[in-house]
Amino acid sequence: MTVESTAPRTPRRSAAGKAGTTRKTGTRAAAAAEKKKTGTDPELVQLLTPEGERVANAEYDKYVADITPEQLRGLYRDMVLTRRFDAEATALQRQGELGLWASLLGQEAAQIGSGRALRDDDYVFPTYREHGVAWCRGVDPTNLLGMFRGVNNGGWDPNSNNFHLYTIVIGAQTLHATGYAMGIAKDGADSAVIAYFGDGASSQGDVAESFTFSAVYNAPVVFFCQNNQWAISEPTEKQTRVPLYQRAQGFGFPGVRVDGNDVLACLAVTKWALERARAGEGPTLVEAYTYRMGAHTTSDDPTRYRLDDERAAWEAKDPILRLRAHLLTQTGPNHTDEGFFQELEAESEALGRRVREAVRAMPDPDRFAIFENAYADGHALVDEERAQFAAYQASFTDAEGV
């Protein structure tokens, strides 16, 4: 099974609206047809088609062979609630309650599938978009919002859930993950580490260094790249001349491309990669081929660089609708009825209300805390700056009293 072409995209030309948009759909369609004809597209692992049909895969079926109807519903619930939380956070930013937000819209299957493949003793190093993985690790969604509201530096204890704090520096977490994996290997633990990053981060030197160290030291780490097609406004073809998963070959470990909108395939492939790591077989690169249906962050305007028809094509592959279709085609009392979806809708609404209330109730941070963590033993210059800041703050109080 092959992936559709990612031929060069023509950006929108006019701010006046759709009438000013230049489209070269004929050229792109011809390129896609040529790739399909010549067979140059790389294959990807897929267990659920976009229509929700289960397809067999001799290599990966065994990793989901024992999945129960209850677990299938659980995966669907995970994706629905994660999307609702994400939508609520985006709305809160638009209302001025958050300074910024990085949406995962469209990437739910990649995150939930890989997140549910993890054991409790595995350790996760995320970027700043892994809200679904955080959900799988038991991190309260409201704790993800403190940093984006500017009231704390993270919001949770990484060791409580084996889920590291969000990393804003692009690609840096892959080095952290590799070092941690090398450490647990020396300790003799049989757990694994997973590092998340995007297609844009794959161009960072940190990622290449991580690949080198993990391969040489046979580190038990899975590199999980969510290829959502756009590194902010740069398409994937401007990031690499070969499919991203093939980069692993040059470092001496396996890579695999999985349908990132197929939660079952992401679950199966990640289980396989984690088992390799725990068995001492070294690192794996998983490329989850998916799509960012929203903006890069709430400060981005994707209509300036990509076409409406591109998003529409990917919406037809929506990960949640795909699993819903699969659930609805199953028969028997242990599968899904309309009551399940109604209850989930009510739970989703309740989650949205809880998130809104929690964000607005977050206390402001101690304004002077920044000075307490600069030097362990204090410093005269910091003391001077603290005094200056205190005087500046006091000036507002004086002005209000006049």
The one catalytic residue in 305, 311, 324, 356 is 305
Rounded CA separation 241/286 (Å)? 18
Q: Which of 47, 3, 52, 225 is nearest to 126 (CA)?
A: 225
- The rounded Cα 170 to chain-centroid distance in angstroms is 13
Listing DSSP states for 232-275 in one string gives: TTEEGGGT-SS-GGGHHHHHTS-EEEEETT-HHHHHHHHHHHHH
- What are the structure tokens assigned to 224, written together? 């999980």
> Is 292 a catalytic site residue?
yes
Local structure of residue 395 (DSSP, 8 states): H
Angle at the Cα of 167 (from 124 to 223), degrees rounded to 5? Answer: 45
> Is 305 a catalytic site residue?
yes
> Is 13 a catalytic site residue?
no
The one catalytic residue in 9, 129, 164, 292 is 292
Rounded CA separation 81/39 (Å)? 38
Rounded CA separation 211/289 (Å)? 20
Rounded CA separation 308/189 (Å)? 48
Catalytic site residues?
292, 296, 305
